[in-house]
Structure 1
Amino acid sequence: MALRIANLLGPRLLNEPLVALTVSRSHDQFVRHRHTKHWNPKWKTLRRQKVMRVKLPNFQEKPEDLSEEEIRSRLKEQGILPPRPWNEKPFFLSCTGGIFEAYVPPEGDGKISPIQVQGAKQKLQYLEKKSRTMMAIRKIKSFEEEFDTATFCKEAEDIYVKMHDLMAKRDLENMTDYVTERAYPEVIHNIENKTIHWKLIKNIELPRVVHARCTDVITKENIFGQTTVRFHTQQMLAVYDRFGRLMHGSEIIAKDVLEYVVFEKHLANLYGKWRVHGKIIPDWLPPKEPSLITYLKPTEETSTTETAVTKTSPDTEQEIPKESNT
């Protein structure tokens, strides 16, 4: 019986190696044993751990068909916060919109000696206003323990020089590291279509802090600090237009410059830094000479004769022929 079955299944068994065929004589059932499977049952746990079961969401269900409790449970399973009924647009205040409690420079500063009567009055007024400045400096020190006016003046001078160097190089990408967003448009407007040559030669007087104020924006903890530094320096400035013609200043002649530069810092921000926020121009300062405005040179039409009209009286006019020089 076994030989007859083996003859019938002979070709089929040749294609299945490593298979043992056992025939039970009582019920004539075939039992196959695969020798490639490990017999030890302790590997069942490891084989089961190789497969991870993932619970897929039901893509057929719609939010309209679910109740509020079902939607809440679905969001809780996925770890998603429920949507809010209102929309909030986050914004970040990196600087203030202007100069608060601007410093009023004394008239004739830089030219009047403190020995004179008017100079002595200026010193007295400065001492009267110094109390609020000291309170603001104390507030700044509560955020910066190592803040010192002498050290800060050196840092302010470096920021001042670096800002003007970037203006001369037209490096707008790194400008915001030294200029606030409020002063940035003014800086861009001043260097548009111009070539600037600038150099700081020396300090006539050492820079000093003459004014300091602190204010809070929106909340009491969001504090900004502003300090006004007086710079009395000797500089060289030459501004050329887009055609290469000199508009203002000179590269040979150096001039004395007295400026009051306002620096601002977001004190509540851990990564805030001092940047140029603006300049204070006193009212008593005489107006500066306007820069030369240049235009494209128009094309001249050559002609043999020109007629010039001169008015001898309000009622009569006389025409005088004039030969052209061309």
Structure 2
Amino acid sequence: MSTVLGPANMARMRGITGTLVQSASYASVRNQDTRVVLKEVGIMDPYVIPEKENRPSLFSDYKKWVKYAKLRMRNTGMTAASTLGMCWRLKDFGITGRFLSESEDAYIAMNEAFAKGDRVFLEEICTPSMYQKLKGQLKDRVGRYEWKYHGIIDKPQIVSIRQGQIGGHVLVQIIVRLHSNQSMGVYDKKNKLVAGDLKNVVPVLEYIVFQRYISDPADNWKILGKTAPESSS
């Protein structure tokens, strides 16, 4: 989601918000006028399909290919089932439209807020556990951060949707693949560049997990954390 502080190449595959995050704290869900405290379940299913270049071959490693094929089939089936259940409640959900556009906007906003140290906005856009993780990184870091978004490389893509229930509340988590160009610079008190370089644009591939209690009309999509394809080795 390693700490954030470091040279430019640290941002290459993880982005400004650093390490992978899986939640284990508590979240609050509004139910009409009653505030209900629910335990965060973390990422229900962190699996994402490996990038094409990392997928096993049927001919070179049959066992790994069979495992990959089963996991991919399972992911497709569970995503389809969860999508049907979600769309039944969220009539205006646009899988290839508004949600993906808003997920990219939320990702940009989170990184910008993190760079600026805007804890108030981070708390609004992230789940409590994700916010606590980022707040801890903000507390530990040194220097002034600048982060720039240089545009998307591939269109945002939904790779997984999962639906579950917690105490009668329906929870949905969506994993979005975001592949973009970014740059980051870290400056000391004298405004001297000490890490990174805003001119050094690097590709960043991240899988962002969004969460919403869809049984609560007042709840909004929030960033729960990140995941990544498991190693093929």
TM-score (norm 1): 0.51
**Alignment check: 8 A CA contact 1:198 1:237 kept:** yes
**Pair 1:130-2:100 in alignment:** no
**Alignment check: 8 A CA contact 1:95 1:265 kept:** no
Structure 1 unmatched runs, 5+: 1-89, 287-326
> Which residue is 1:93 aligned to?
37
What are the Cα deviations for residues 60-106 of structure 1, in whole angstroms up to 9, with x where unaligned?
xxxxxxxxxxxxxxxxxxxxxxxxxxxxxx86236724111212442
> Which residue is 2:117 aligned to?
170
Q: 1:241 to 1:148 in 2, by over 3 A?
A: same
Q: 1:175 to 1:138 in 2, by over 3 A?
A: same
Q: Secondary structure at the match of 2:119?
A: coil
User: What is the RMSD computed on CA atoms of the aligned residues?
Assistant: 3.1
> Which residue is 2:149 aligned to?
200
With CA pairs under 8 Å and 6+ residues apart, which has the higher RCO, 1 or 2? 2
Of the two, which has the highest radius of gyration? 1
Q: Secondary structure at the match of 2:135?
A: helix
- Mapping of 1:57-68 within 5 angstroms? none
Cα offset for 1:125? 5.2
Cα offset for 1:202? 1.6
* Equivalent residue pairs, number: 191
What are the Cα deviations for residues 256-303 of structure 1, in whole angstroms up to 9, with x where unaligned?
1111100000111111111110011445399xxxxxxxxxxxxxxxxx
Q: 1:141 to 1:254 in 2, by over 3 A?
A: same
**Alignment check: 8 A CA contact 1:236 1:255 kept:** yes
Q: 1:246 to 1:149 in 2, by over 3 A?
A: same
**Pair 1:231-2:171 in alignment:** no
Structure 2 unmatched runs, 5+: 1-33
**Alignment check: 8 A CA contact 1:95 1:181 kept:** no
1:218 to 155, 158, 167: 167
1:260 to 200, 204, 207: 207
Query: What is the CA–CA distance in structure 1 between the aligned matches of 2:172 and 2:163, rounded to whole Å?
Result: 4
Q: Secondary structure at the match of 2:83?
A: helix
**Alignment check: 8 A CA contact 1:95 1:182 kept:** no
**Pair 1:190-2:134 in alignment:** no
Q: Secondary structure at the match of 2:220?
A: coil
Q: Secondary structure at the match of 1:255?
A: strand
Q: Secondary structure at the match of 1:207?
A: strand
- The structure with the largest strand share of the pair is 2
